[in-house]
Structure 1
Amino acid sequence: MDLSAIVEHGGFDVMCFNKYCNNCSSSTNSEEDKSTYTECKAKRNYPKNNAEILSGQYGINVFLVGVALMLAVAHHGPSIKEKHLLSFVTALMLVQLLWMLWYVVKRDRQKKTSEKDAHAGMSWIRAGVTVLALLSLIMDAFRIGRYVGYRKCMSAALVVYPVVHALHTVSQVHFLWYHVKDVIKSFETFERFGVIHAVFTNLFLWCNGAMTESEHFLNDHKRRLSELGYANLSIVEHKPYCNCTTSACSMFSKSLYYLYPFNIEYHIFVSAMLFVMWKNIGRTIHHYHDKARPVGGGNGLGLGPALGLVALAGTIGVLAVYTVHMEDSQDTRDSAISMFYYHGIVLLGCMAIAGVVGLLIYRVDRRPLDDSKNPSRQLDKEMLFGASVGTWLMSWCSVVAVGATETSPRYRWPNLAYSLLLILEKSVQNLFIIESLYRKHEANCGEGAEPATNPSEIFSVAASLATPFKGVFNRAYENQDGGCISLDGDREESKQVCVCPLKHPVLPFPVTPGGAEPPSRQRQALRNITIFLILCNISLWLLPAFGCRPQYDNGLEQEILGFTIWTMVLNFAMPLNLFYRMHAVASLLEVFKHV
């Protein structure tokens, strides 16, 4: 066939070639071709897999060294003190700072623009992390101010740590804004170790902050029990042995614990974003040309934001009343605990109903799921399930305690209903979020849309800036007979170059959906549900983050499980519960963009 005829017909639609191995060239024997290609691909992936395993093991062991030091410090023994732990954390942050500096300088010197993962580190997540980072900087300032007042009897490590942490925070936020979307293709093995070091450094900072905050709440709980005469528990608090030289030491010390929740969330979010960057190292980005529906304005938003703001206002009221009444008599304390459970029952019940309505809407709008590879979305799903485990464990312990206890305080059965609804609400919300994230966009759906071609094998010539992909394949063109026309008849069987019918050309712009767009009322309902769930999750994060934790105060679980066991459960479950709520907010914002 004449080549000019093909050009007049429209040119080559898709061209692909292999760039990995010289031995993987075309052959008349397709079986040998396939075998050689598989062998070359395995050889190419071998160092990548080894680097992933080695860097992962390095990060885990660095993290476990820190955990061992943290547990030793929590014991309050004479050998390992807080200054040793802070010195170790400071060293980790300095190593990460050196790696980030090297990476930024290297990227600036490279002339070639790096590939980007559009799904990694969405703009609103980075904006939220920036706000949390600013509050973390205030916390560092309070630490420095506290050290100034007690500098005569405090180790220098306690002032070096907040200074380095502040520098680390500023540098890391800059790195996240400009480089977290990068898909690293050079110095891959070294970069894997650098990124995973950053991941586990932030993960350990989260773990250390969560344990410090839990210890603070536990000491407050012991103090209240001692004041009420229930138990004579020892409270271990290490205060400086000298007097403060300024009048602000007490203010700095007390304010630190109100900022801990923001610092904790900052580090866990950064750890998750950097983990996605680590997974993207060496990855081939598939260039899809479809575009999601842009987020609309406020049309149709009314009921969801209104109910969410009512829930948020009620939550703030419950938090204020609970905090004040827990310092009063036993009867007042019981009333405050009951108020918390009744408020939670109403809130969780409404959230569960909203999630069920959203799932029913999805059953009506039968759009297929998107099964394309997306490390960010996969991590979102895994973190939702992982963070739910802590709450589920805590809730089932409460269910067992309520059923087995012989006492019957006024909040016994509300506690049972609250625990069961908490399990149900998280299960429904997880389903709603995950299905929302995995549903195809409107641009990919519709009866008239072309079935997606595997982007790991081909790329469109129309998108000339796209990166070439592996494989030898040439999309076909329609001839008058509707058959497959080969440029070389002898090689038609091997499919080296083939021209076949093509009904819909691949275009670098969205395909208009052919009637699969859901009705406007369904979209409005989904948007209202999403906004309502966002505000409710913020409400449920505020309560435990700022001291409203009836699990410490109701005494039912402690009576059945014992003080030590129940404290261990809470120390495990509470940080995961706080993280779940903030992560759910971030995921629901992504859902809002899709709907």
Structure 2
Amino acid sequence: MNDTGENESVPPAYQMELFNHDTNRSQFVEGPPPASSSRRLPPNISVHTQHKAAGKKVVTNEGDDALATTISALYGKLLVVLGVSLPVTKTLTSKPSITTYDVRYGSFYLRIGVVVFGFCSVIYAVLSFGQYFELKGTPECDNILVAVTPLVRTTFVVGQMIYVFSLHDRFLEVYKHALVARFGIMHMIATNLSEWLYVVVEETKYDIQQHFRNLEERNLIQILNNPNETASGSFSESLELRNSIAFLPDKSSECWRSQIMKNLLRNSSPFLFPCTVEYSLLCTVILAVMWRTACNSFESPRTRKQSGVNVIYARSISQFSVDCASAYKGLIAGLLVTLISTISLILFFELVRQPKYAKLAVFQVNVWEAFVLGTSIAVVILCYMKMRTIGQRREHRDLELEHILLFVTQFGVFLYTSFHIIGAYFMMNAANNRWDVMRIVTPVSALVQSICQTLLVLDAWRRGCSTPEQVERKPGRQMVTFLLVANMVMWIVNRLVNNRAESYPEQMEFYGVWAWTIITHMCMPLVVCYRFQSSVCLYEVWKHVYKQTRK
């Protein structure tokens, strides 16, 4: 009887729920619900029913979070598509417009690199802003976007550096369950990717225009020097070159009062444009780790603080010290390579200006680059044999952000060297010159060296000295020092020589001006960033592997 009276006091909705989920009346307990319950249930509601309701709430929250993550990813994809389609449309449109020559976490070492690349991007944006004051004040020429775009780009670069290095933890703690964190970080990722693609489009457009203009100028000089012999052929070729770039819009010279900033930007673009690409790439990977951390809403706080970007920042606040023991020989050898590379670069820039010595300039750079790469392969093998005496660390070590960046940028090395080898092989058969084999040896050496070096970095990352004798001997540290300096040297060579599509006229002749210029500007920023990232990883090996680990 008592049971009947109690059931009559329960609402019908709860009676149906009790009937569906638990038919055992002996499991019901009287009294108020637990204090942790989110809503006050009537008496006699089973604990099983309360847990069921809480489970439904958890499932709902998980579904909402998954939906928010998917929508934010789609939002970022849409921004990237717009970021590449708009500049391509702007480049290919025939409508005349006033355009300007626009821009083209980690360890301590990596953070310094991000700051340097960001600083160079700011410099270029400020120089671009100066173009506005060279425009005429007529309605046809005055364009406020020439001033607004560089200022917005400068604000974004500076604000992103401040956020990445100081405000990220506070941001994720406050908004870790909100949509604004996911959409905000994804918006920044898409902006960096769009800026990268925009740089590639603008740089490719400018290099193609400049290449055809240089050919046209040379043909005109031939006409003036030999008016009777080559006039008709050179004149018709000049007309074809002019028609080849007629659909590419260019700046109208009538809108400029002076061209001081224009010439300054063009001369500095080969050095500052790649900095924008490298800065965008590094920030994209960093923000992607942050976005993944923000999406793991159900991860325990302990795990969240020990994963991803937080590990990097926790490690970066440790005391910075450098022990240069057992590194002097490798450092001296690396400085010697740097010295000879500087001489080779000086010869290149001096000889490439003279048409009859242009091939010799490229050949001597290829020979020296192949020598440095071959030496690095031998040093990598010797270093691996030396470091095999160092034991493996007992604790499990996941891939760090530096290694993720290393894998991403190595894709550019594979792609660029593959195109280089294919083009050089077919052009070697056509030219039938025995010295052209160096155009195949150099990219093959770069490909093999990048594979061996990446394997060495991943293997050394899991090793650590376990005895005082190993700490004192530091096996392989001389080789690691040499590889660190050699990668910086190859970074400079790629930045100054290989970053220019016209440095390899044979590949340009085989693939065509358009195709080879696009290949160069799509792959070389990744190749350059791979060399920098390799030096970052080698520095981490140089600094942390030779410290005694706890048993």
Deviation by residue 1:83-108 (Cα, 9 ceiling, x = unmatched): 8x99xx9xxxxxxxxxxxxxxxxxxx
Q: 1:581 aligns with which of 520, 523, 531?
A: 531
Residue matched to 1:416 = 440
Query: How far apart are the structure 2 equivalents of 1:586 and 1:55?
Result: 31
Q: Distance in 1 between matches of 2:372 and 2:536?
A: 20
Shift of 1:362: 3.5
Letter in 2 for 1:165: R
Q: 2:338 aligns with which of 294, 303, 312?
A: 312
1:62-73 matches, within 5 Å, as: 62-73=79-90
Q: In the aligned structure 2, how far is the partner of 1:188 from the partner of 1:378?
A: 30
The one of the two structures with greater contact order (alpha-carbon pairs below 8 A, sep at least 6) is 1
157-166 or 180-189: bigger deviation: 180-189
| Cα distance in structure 2, aligned partners of 1:128 and 1:378 | 15
Alpha-carbon distance in 2 for matches of 1:392, 1:370: 37
Partner of 1:543: 493
Contact 1:531 1:592 in 2 (8 A): yes
- Counterpart of 2:110 in structure 1 is 125
- Tell me what 1:339 maps to: 364
**Equivalent of residue 253 in structure 2, options 241, 265, 268:** 241
Deviations 1:200-255 (A, max 9, x none): 21122122223323333344443444455596434557124326435733543334
Q: Is the 8 A contact 1:398 1:415 kept in 2?
A: no
Moved more, 559-568 or 534-543: 559-568
Q: By how many angstroms is 1:373 displaced? A: 4.8
Contact 1:557 1:566 in 2 (8 A): yes
**Residues 381 and 566 of structure 1: is their aligned pair in 2 closer, same or farther, counting only changes over 3 Å?**
closer
Rounded to whole Å, the distance in 2 between the matches of 1:21 and 1:371 is: 39
Scaled by the length of structure 2, the TM-score of the pair is: 0.72
Specify the alignment match of 1:570 in structure 2: 520
Report the alpha carbon displacement of residue 195 of structure 1 after superposing the two structures with TM: 0.6
* 1:427 lines up with 2:451 in the alignment: yes
User: Are 1:182 and 1:277, in contact at CA under 8 Å, matched by a contact in 2?
Assistant: no
**2:257 partner SS:** coil
Q: Which residue of 2 aligns with 1:148?
A: 133
1:92-241 equivalent positions in 2, closer than 5 A? 120-152=105-137, 153-180=141-168, 184-185=172-173, 186-226=176-216, 232=238, 233-234=241-242, 235=245, 236=248, 238-241=250-253
Q: Which runs of 5+ in 2 are unaligned?
A: 1-35, 39-51, 220-233, 546-551
CA positional deviation for 1:409? 4.2
Q: CA deviation at 1:516?
A: 8.9
Identity over aligned pairs, percent: 18
| 1:394 corresponds to which of 391, 394, 419 | 419
Return the alpha-carbon distance in structure 2 between the equivalents of residues 301 and 196 of structure 1: 43
* Residues 189 and 287, structure 2, Cα contact 8 Å, conserved in 1: yes
CA distance in 1, matches of 2:98, 2:91: 9
Q: Distance in 2 between matches of 1:265 and 1:137?
A: 13
Residues 138 and 363 of structure 1: CA distance in aligned 2, closer, same or farther (over 3 Å): same
- Retained in 2: the 8 A contact 1:308–1:535? yes
* Cα distance in 2 for residues equivalent to 1:74 and 1:179: 37
Q: 1:361 to 1:57 in 2, by over 3 A?
A: farther
**Cα pair distance change 1:316/1:381, threshold 3 Å:** closer
Larger Rg: 2
The residue type equivalent to 2:159 in the other structure is S
**Partner of residue 541, structure 2:** 591
Note the alpha carbon deviations across 1:335-378, whole angstroms, 9 max, x for none: 10110111111111122122222322343324158645556256
Q: CA deviation at 1:139?
A: 1.3
1:55 equivalenced with 2:72 (yes/no): yes
Q: What is the SS of the residue equivalent to 2:431?
A: coil
Judged with a 3 Å threshold, the aligned counterparts in structure 2 of structure 1 residues 372 and 334 are, in CA distance, closer, same or farther, namely closer
Q: CA deviation at 1:76?
A: 4.1
Contact 1:394–1:570, Cα closer than 8 Å, also in 2: no
Does the 8 Å CA contact 1:154/1:240 hold for their aligned counterparts? no
Partner of 1:269: 282
Matched letter for residue 516 of structure 2: W
Task: Check whether the contact 1:352–1:424 (CA below 8 A) recurs between aligned residues.
Answer: yes
Which structure 2 residues correspond to residues 496-515 of structure 1 after superposition, within 5 A?
Answer: 515=467
Are the equivalent residues in 2 in contact too, given 1:337–1:550 (CA < 8 A)?
A: no
TM-score, with structure 1 as normaliser = 0.67
- Answer whether contact 1:399 1:420 (CA < 8 A) is retained: no
Q: After TM superposition, give the deviation of residue 163 of structure 1 in Å.
A: 1.2
Contact kept, 8 Å, 1:304 with 1:531, in 2: the verdict is yes
Which secondary structure state, in structure 1, belongs to the residue aligned with residue 254 of structure 2?
A: coil
Q: Deviations over 1:560-594 (max 9, x none)?
A: 44444434432332222222222223333333332
Q: Which residue of 2 aligns with 1:26?
A: none
Q: CA deviation at 1:140?
A: 1.9
* Aligned equivalents of 1:353, 1:556: Cα separation in 2: 30
Residue type at the aligned position of 2:533 = H
Q: Is the 8 A contact 1:398 1:419 kept in 2?
A: no
CA distance in 1, matches of 2:161, 2:279: 10
Superposed CA deviations along residues 37-58 of structure 1, whole A, max 9, x for unmatched, are 9999877654444333322221
| Correspondence for 2:13 | none
The alpha-carbon deviation at position 266 of structure 1 amounts to 2.0
Q: Is the 8 A contact 1:351 1:536 kept in 2?
A: yes
- Check whether the contact 1:402–1:415 (CA below 8 A) recurs between aligned residues: no
CA distance in 2, matches of 1:304, 1:350: 13
Secondary structure in 2 aligned to 1:208?
helix
Gaps of 5+ in 1: 1-19, 23-34, 90-119, 443-512
1:521 to 473, 482, 496: 473
Letter in 2 for 1:61: L
Instruction: State the SS of the aligned residue for 2:253.
Output: coil
Matched, 1:354 2:379: yes
Separation (CA, whole Å) in 1 of partners of 2:167 and 2:469? 35
SS of the residue aligned with 2:388?
helix
* CA offsets 1:115-163 (integer angstroms, 9 cap, x no match): xxxxx43333222222222222221221122221124325211110111
Larger relative helix fraction: 2
2:251 aligns to what SS in structure 1?
Answer: coil
CA contact (8 A) 2:135 2:256 kept: yes
| Change in 2 beyond 3 A, CA 1:169/1:57 | same
For 1:342 and 1:200, how far apart are their aligned partners in 2? 40
Deviations 1:185-206 (A, max 9, x none): 5334320111111112112212
Would you say the 8 A contact 1:137–1:169 is kept in 2?
yes
Whether the 8 Å contact between 1:395 and 1:420 is mirrored in structure 2 is no
Structure 1's 546 and 593: CA in aligned 2 closer, same or farther, altered over 3 A?
Answer: same
Secondary structure of 1:205's aligned partner: helix
Name the CA distance, whole Å, in 2 between partners of 1:145 and 1:54: 39
Q: How does 1:458-537 map onto structure 2 within 5 Å?
A: 515=467, 518-523=470-475, 525-526=476-477, 528-537=478-487
Sort the Cα spacing of 1:68 and 1:381 in 2 relative to 1 into closer, same or farther, 3 A.
same
